[in-house]
A and B are shown apart, each in its own frame.
Chain A
Amino acid sequence: MSNPKELRYSKEHEWLSPAEDGVSAVGITEHAANALGDVVFVQLPEVGDSVSAGETCGELESTKSVSDLYSPVTGEVTEVNEDVVNDPSLVNSAPFEGGWLFRVRVAEEPADLLSADEYTAFSAG
């Protein structure tokens, strides 16, 4: 599996896209999606919600378990992916593309986000 170079990654296995007009997309990595198995339900923050880096902002249910969703950055949610709410399997089939979860206007970014290479090494360990 390859982690896209243009994204940055949290140690909670979320990815963050490069900001466009201050807004970034957030999703979970392919590594995380594979570990979860088939995702059957996603609960996402609502548009206008404030999210904080490293804090939970939703949950992902798979066949076997439920996992918290963490925000990789601090900011305000500007959009949620209704397609993934209606069809959570997008998280498994296209974690870096159609399976994105929400967009956030970034107010503050933690210093310890990882590059693709760093995350690949981190998630292999």
Chain B
Amino acid sequence: MSSTAPRRTALDALHRSLGATMTDFAGWDMPLRYGSERDEHNAVRTKAGLFDLSHMGEITVTGPQAAQLLNHALVGNIASVGVGRARYTMICRADGGILDDLIVYRLAETEAGSSHFMVVANASNAQVVLDALVERSAGFDAEVRDDRDAYALIAVQGPESPGILKSLTDADLDGLKYYAGLPGTVAGVPALIARTGYTGEDGFELFVKPEHAVELWQALTKAGEGVGLVPCGLSCRDTLRLEAGMPLYGHELSTSLTPFDAGLGRVVKFEKEGDFVGREALQEAAARSEANPPRVLVGLIAEGRRVPRAGYPVVAGGEVIGEVTSGAPSPTLGKPIAMAYVDAAHAAPGTPGVGVNIRGTHEPYEVVALPFYKRQK
């Protein structure tokens, strides 16, 4: 890691005035929580929460061959994404290892046939993704631009979020589907309004110029006053995504795993036109995962109250059969939960005798299918 001071978002002073506990996350000084992270978590599940996600890494890809470039560089079929829609995808190495998971938005199309995409990478991987896209763009008529400093990102998540946003924009939110994005104006501020999130709830992510971030945050805060909107930090974001069974890079995803190893082989589109980085290795990984699956990503629910943490061994019959990748007390279930990679023989829901070695003690855990939580639509 570099020894430089952590970067601060456009909302930094506001977080401090709200009494946030700050934490260093991927080189950024980010709000961990403002008060109780459990209250913040429950607000997102039942009302609404407001997040500063300005650490996320935006990369703009434009040009007549922007779609072809992304089809070559990423494992998904980006050319098939319609204007105004978004796609969850991954970027892999030639050996199939995952460099990052991404959301790609197709923002616009010019009459001359030039496309405009925005790729959103994890903060910790943004430079790696940018470098890979630039390298992989050789030979394509497309431009890759680092737009990390061009955007602040504010998310409003939870069942009350459509109502809150509607009071601040004329944009057609009812017509905006999950995994879609459209340019609009929110509280007088130009914004890309995306119906995406990482919480398992309905919600929106608003990409705006950093100089508009404070104004937008304050307008959302005011609009949400009567319906229980609270500012939320990264701590509850982690428990929200864990309950929703969503992977986090560095925990469930890494360069030593392919999308198939992570149970996310569906994001790899072999049928798309043209070659793509990692195709050959991923075909082998797909065959391997079908014939002789390595470890499988499962959910674990504690019978006791001790909390599993990343790296703890999963055990059965005195043998280590896996490893916890993420673990936390679940506010919604009221019990500790974890995601873990376990040997296929022990991966079926209800497999008896599975436990987690929590600092020397084998605590019993129930194997369940993911996710732990799915919202009622």
Contacts and interface: CB of A to CB of B under 8 A. Distances in A.
A7 B316 CA distance: 47
A63 interface: yes
B206 to A, nearest CB: 26
Contacts of B235: 37, 63-64
Given A37-B235, A40-B329, A61 B307 contact: yes
Interface residues of A, number: 13
Interface in A25-43: 34, 37-38, 40-41, 43
Contacts, number: 38
A38 B36 contact: yes
Nearest to A42: B305
B38 A38 contact: yes
Interface in B212-228: none
B284 to A, nearest CB: 38
Nearest to A59: B359
Contacts of B309: 65-66
A34 B32 CA distance: 12
Interface in A5-32: none
A92 interface: yes
A66 B307 contact: yes
A38 B41 CA distance: 12
A92 B305 CA distance: 18
Interface residues of B, number: 16
Given A37-B235, A40-B329, A63 B306 contact: no
A83 to B, nearest CB: 15
A61 B329 contact: yes
Given A34-B21, A37-B235, A41-B329, A63 B37 contact: yes
A63 B36 CA distance: 10
Contacts of B329: 38, 40-41, 61, 63
Contacts of A89: 38
B328 interface: yes
A64 B239 CA distance: 10
B33 interface: yes
Nearest to B23: A64
Interface in A72-90: 89
Interface string A37-73: 1101101000000000000000001011110000000
Contacts of A38: 36-38, 329
A40 B305 contact: yes
Contacts of A34: 21
B314 to A, nearest CB: 17
A43 B305 CA distance: 10
Interface string A85-100: 0000100100000000
A40 B331 CA distance: 10
A37 B307 contact: no
B37 A37 contact: yes
Interface of B: 21, 32-33, 36-38, 235, 239, 305-307, 309, 328-329, 336, 359
19 contacts: A37-B21, A37-B32, A37-B33, A37-B37, A37-B235, A40-B305, A40-B307, A40-B336, A41-B307, A43-B306, A61-B305, A61-B306, A61-B307, A63-B38, A63-B235, A63-B328, A63-B329, A64-B235, A66-B359
